[in-house]
Amino acid sequence: MKRIDFQTSPDKYRHWRIETDGEVARVIMDVDETAGLFEGYELKLNSYDLGVDIELADVIQRLRFEHPEVKTVVMASGKDRVFCAGANIRMLGGVSHAHKVNFCKFTNETRNSIEDATDNSHQTWICAVSGACAGGGYELALACDEIILTDDGSSTVALPEVPLLAVLPGTGGLTRVTDKRKVRRDRADIFCSLEEGIRGKKAVDWRLVDQVAPASKFGEAVDQRAKEVAARSDRPSGAQGVRLNPLDKTLTDNAIRYSMVSVEIDRDARIATVTISGPEDQPPADMAAAEAQGDQFWSLKLARELDDALLEIRFNEMEMAVIQFKSAGDPAAVLAYDEFMQANDGHWLMREILLYWRRVLKRVDLTSRTISTMAEPGSCFAGTLAELLFAADRTYMADGQFEGDNRPEARIALSQLNFGAYPMSNGLTRLETRFLGEPEAVEAAKATIGEQLDASQAEEMGLVSFAFDDIDWEDEVRIFLEERASFSPDALTAMEANLRFAGPETMETRIFGRLTAWQNWVFQRPNAVGADGALKRYGTGKRANFNMERV
Amino acid sequence: MKRIDFQTSPDKYRHWRIETDGEVARVIMDVDETAGLFEGYELKLNSYDLGVDIELADVIQRLRFEHPEVKTVVMASGKDRVFCAGANIRMLGGVSHAHKVNFCKFTNETRNSIEDATDNSHQTWICAVSGACAGGGYELALACDEIILTDDGSSTVALPEVPLLAVLPGTGGLTRVTDKRKVRRDRADIFCSLEEGIRGKKAVDWRLVDQVAPASKFGEAVDQRAKEVAARSDRPSGAQGVRLNPLDKTLTDNAIRYSMVSVEIDRDARIATVTISGPEDQPPADMAAAEAQGDQFWSLKLARELDDALLEIRFNEMEMAVIQFKSAGDPAAVLAYDEFMQANDGHWLMREILLYWRRVLKRVDLTSRTISTMAEPGSCFAGTLAELLFAADRTYMADGQFEGDNRPEARIALSQLNFGAYPMSNGLTRLETRFLGEPEAVEAAKATIGEQLDASQAEEMGLVSFAFDDIDWEDEVRIFLEERASFSPDALTAMEANLRFAGPETMETRIFGRLTAWQNWVFQRPNAVGADGALKRYGTGKRANFNMERV
């Protein structure tokens, strides 16, 4: 399968348009059916594949950073009579299981980022639906804060996956129907069993949409609502956005190099080593200076590079068993940036950067590779970067100086940001999740904010899994990495998905835990993907042939 | 696959012994390795299959009903040097996917019933572990309230599924490690990657067990703890238990008939119709009279029959797409029983009966068939039986009298028991779950307790999905049933598992939603179940051959 590139920009979009007009932006989905990411299908009826979703993720990100003045985003279709037909079925029928799973995860993260923009950036997405809005199309609408449907006798919302395709509305659909829109359970059952969808007032009564408006007044109703919603936002009107320029990125056969991040691919050992560079300078003097740095502000630049690196590994390096995080730099310099971010967290730009880090760290949590963090001599896992210690399945810390190594002894440190800025999908911080059974350990950790902790202190406090000196380090790490690479990748994926999210469940954990796991199961079953299965037979005129055992 | 019988009794046990001694009972696992449920494997090292678990479920049930005086149950092994090696691997390698899934669900329900006995019957299970306690063996221990481990240098607890077998500790193991015992996340990762397990003080430090005691003092430590735990129970010391006699049950080719329940199997239409008979008499005058009725008390008798019917359909009628609940009787008579149960809910026996209904209704929620409830003329879906209206994916109610049908018009009614006695796995009542978006509807329903509601009232209040008169009834029901039978069974299983449990998540919903879905996925993957997969290669001396793509 060809290498997938997650970097794009509006001048390259094939499927979306952004039209900004003061406080309100319109995001128009107008899929180019000839521009699918892979061969073998046409993106008819505004159906989508990963390429369409990569552009959407870019749209969401740019509106947040480049358009502080935009308070409401209206999503609409650029086609007549169809809003969006959902994920492209021929694409789903043709790609590998691994791609389907990765595709669904990325689209889910993108839907969640729409909700994050609404809830936390106060850039509220509303969905203006005219025409058929089915499956993944309705799931796009569900991710928006409000859905306004044209009442024209033909525009409908639908989740026809089960009756038509023998798969689930797996991009959050089932979960948002029950838990976001709180549709009555028997109505949810009826709705999800209907090929043809629901329209008009009934869609409102059943809580599937918020409002209907006749075609003649639809534009007006949407505009009015967009203005009302904009009025409650705290986004600044006169601020200048930060332009997200192309990443500084070089690909070689076994490496991806960015300015602050490098990824080394060891295909034999099946390890991707991601090394992060700490800041080389002090944080800017004030927010004006930070705004002037724009996308070169250390923390933003690093977040963008790390985010891209994670997606590269997920999609383009499928056989990597382990992601091994390393870092190089001065812990004090990272803490200084954390303090600057914390001190300015009321500023729209700093809020965006903190929220972006939150999403990137969630992307780490949701990456189905073993995550290990290696705090070696000379590393700088402090504050925001210390989250990578707690996001890891295991963390190894070097104890003392290593012979023949002139880098300083490894130290880790916490900042205020470790105690609330970066909640996981379960709504808890990584430290709260880690210490679910010993909440007093969170308090003890908090008492050390700003201190540089050595390996024995860190181990004692439960902040790392192991501390080894240079006699044991190499063997212990090697054994772990070899062992991990020898286990069944499937069992590890499933085990980690269960162990990483202790504690409360949220709509997000339900989507990634329950809904995704069931969808992945369905994506393996012959009734969906077999030669006579529904995905393969879709559009051939032949009915799928099902094994009728209920499992 | 041969028909599986869920009815047993101590005189028939092959694998367990119950030894009662006043307040404390000992439950000894001593698996007969020659007595597997199917051919082709031996139940070595106290490993188990469904047959072993059917006996355990019976043990738990009988201790609750037949032994009100038992306050602590100590689970122990009857073998030297092994507590329990978990589910039998050769069995898992040999049976169908459908059986594996059903087996895991039943064993999970059985583990949950141990916790239910502890938490709600105050018959507390503690686990006395000597020898190897691995995989499903440790999951048995995890279901107990406390785990006491022999500190003899060799007794260990372990979850070696991932490294040894490429499957998950799927009988609640991963979930109970993170959410019941709250083991630190990196330690959980290490523990679940170890073939050899953890012993002694480290097992206590890591929260994997509660206590260790040296071999010489182990029996004494367990006895002492059993007595301490017994002292806090409110179970009566002088009460007489209720003997659970064999069910009155007749099997024919297309039917299962009990005294109050009949199951008609329509193999062409793929519908199992379960008809419940309401009580023919008034409830007994007082608890003494109810105790005298024993297992013939209407409500207990019905719960036992319905429970068995559900298991029969799950395991022995795999192709049934729909379970259709019907009932016949007088709603007022059901309400009278509910009032009697409610009035006496402080009595140990009535508490047991109410808790048993709670479990049976949860078994309905967790049954992976479309559940539909048909409130026809002459039906009695009132109070406890009305839960079947709300447990259903859809409910159809007949509106008015039907031509040529002299049965009374359908009425439904609510009792106090619909508002708290029967929480679902998510911790909410079925009405609260149903009306998550309109909590005021629960209050409105509560205001009608005791009233008999006709179809238009019931529909108006949102208590049923549809009300049809006799002109439309037959066609509407037929179309629904035909449609349901035509859909992919897998997609329906997954859809229903997502739609049924809106609202909060609990350890139970995590086990059945997240853990089970991932385990089912793993159970489809070639790395576990393929010809070169770990389950197939286990014990052959050959290593499994894994596809190394991480998905």
Q: Which domains are delineated in chain B?
A: 10-230 (3.90.226.10), 250-495 (3.90.226.10)
Distance to chain A for B242, nearest Cα, Å:
35
Q: What is the pLDDT averaged over residues A117-133?
A: 98
Per the CB < 8 Å rule, is A437 touching B182? yes
How far is residue B287 CA from its own chain's centroid? Answer: 27
Q: How far is A119 from chain B (nearest CA, A)?
A: 20
Rounded mean pLDDT, B173-196:
97
Confidence (pLDDT) at B395: 98
Chain B positions in Cβ-Cβ contact with residue A503 (cut-off 8 Å): 179
Q: With DSSP H G I counted as helix, E B as strand and the rest as coil, what are the percentages for chain A, rounded to 5?
A: 45, 15, 40
Q: Is the pLDDT of residue A2 over 90?
A: no
Q: Which two tokens stand for residue A392?
A: 């890891």
C-beta of residue B507 within 8 angstroms of C-beta of residue B291: no
Q: Which residues of B touch A189 (CB under 8 A)?
A: 393-394, 495-496, 499
Residue B434 with chain A: CB contacts under 8 Å: 184-186
Contacts B322 to A, Cβ<8 Å:
none
ipTM of the complex: 0.95
Sheet holding B156-158, edge to edge: B82-84, B132-134, B156-158
Contact (Cβ atoms closer than 8 angstroms) between residue B59 and residue B113: no
Nearest to A551 among B192, B368, B498 (CB): B368
pLDDT in tens, B357-383: 999 999 999 999 999 999 999 999 999
- List, in order, residues 6 or more apart from A220 with CB less than 8 Å away: A213
Q: Give the separation between CA A522 and CA A536, rounded to whole angstroms.
A: 14
Q: Which residue of B has its CA nearest to A185?
A: B434
What's the average model confidence in pLDDT over A454-467?
98
Alpha-helix runs per DSSP H in B95-175: 97-120, 136-143, 173-175
Percent of chain A with pLDDT over 90: 99
Q: Report whether pLDDT(A215) > 80.
A: yes
Q: Cα distance from B118 to chain A (closest Cα, Å)?
A: 21
Residues of B in contact with A436 (CB under 8 A): 178-179, 182
Sheet with B124-129, side-by-side order of all strands? B16-21, B24-29, B72-77, B124-129, B146-150, B211-213
Instruction: Please name the residues in contact with A478: beta carbons below 8 A apart, sequence gap of 6 or more.
Output: none
Q: Which residues of B touch A485 (CB under 8 A)?
A: 548
Q: How far is B267 from chain A (nearest CA, A)?
A: 11
Calculate mean pLDDT across residues A124-141: 98
Chain A to chain B, count of Cβ pairs less than 8 Å apart? 278
pLDDT digits (tens, 9 = 90+) for A503-526: 999 999 999 999 999 999 999 999
Q: Which of B1, B139, B185, B266 to mutate to test the interface with A (most CBs of A within 10 A)?
A: B185
Interchain contact, A168 vs B520, CB within 8 Å: no
Which residue on chain A is closest to B503 by alpha carbon?
Answer: A179
Q: Note the pLDDT of residue B214.
A: 98
Q: What is the pLDDT of residues B20-69, one digit of tens each?
A: 999 999 999 999 999 999 999 999 999 999 999 999 999 999 999 999 99
pLDDT surpasses 80 at B547: yes
* R_g of chain B, CA atoms, integer Å: 24
E strand segments, A219-298? 249-252, 255-258, 261-266, 271-277
Select from A465, A485, A497 the Cβ nearest to the Cβ of B518. Answer: A497
Token code pair at residue A506:
């949220």
Going by C-beta distance under 8 Å and a sequence separation of 6 or more, which residues neighbour residue A76?
A26, A27, A28, A29, A83, A127, A128, A129, A130, A222
CA A347 to CA B230: how far, in whole Å?
59
Contact B75, B29 (CB under 8 A): yes
d(CA A437, CA A455): 22
CB contact under 8 A, B549 and A188: no
Length of chain A: 551
Q: Is the pLDDT of residue A1 over 70?
A: no
Of B98, B438, B491, the CB nearest to A162: B491
Is A549's CB within 8 Å of B483's CB? no
**Which tokens in the block code for residue A472?**
């044991």
- Whether the predicted pLDDT of B1 surpasses 90: no
Distance CA B517, CA B494 (A): 9
B8 CA to chain A: closest CA distance, Å?
25
Q: How far is CA A381 from CA A361, A376, A377, A474, in A?
A: 14, 10, 11, 20
Å from B327 to nearest chain A CA?
20
Mean confidence (pLDDT) of chain A: 97
Write out the two tokens for B311. 């298991």
Interface test with B, best of A101, A181, A185, A440 (most B CBs within 10 A): A185
B414-468 pLDDT per residue, tens: 999 999 999 999 999 999 999 999 999 999 999 999 999 999 999 999 999 999 9
pLDDT grade for B230, boundaries at 50, 70 and 90: very high
Q: How far is A164 from chain B (nearest CA, A)?
A: 9
Residue A142: list chain B partners with CB under 8 A.
none
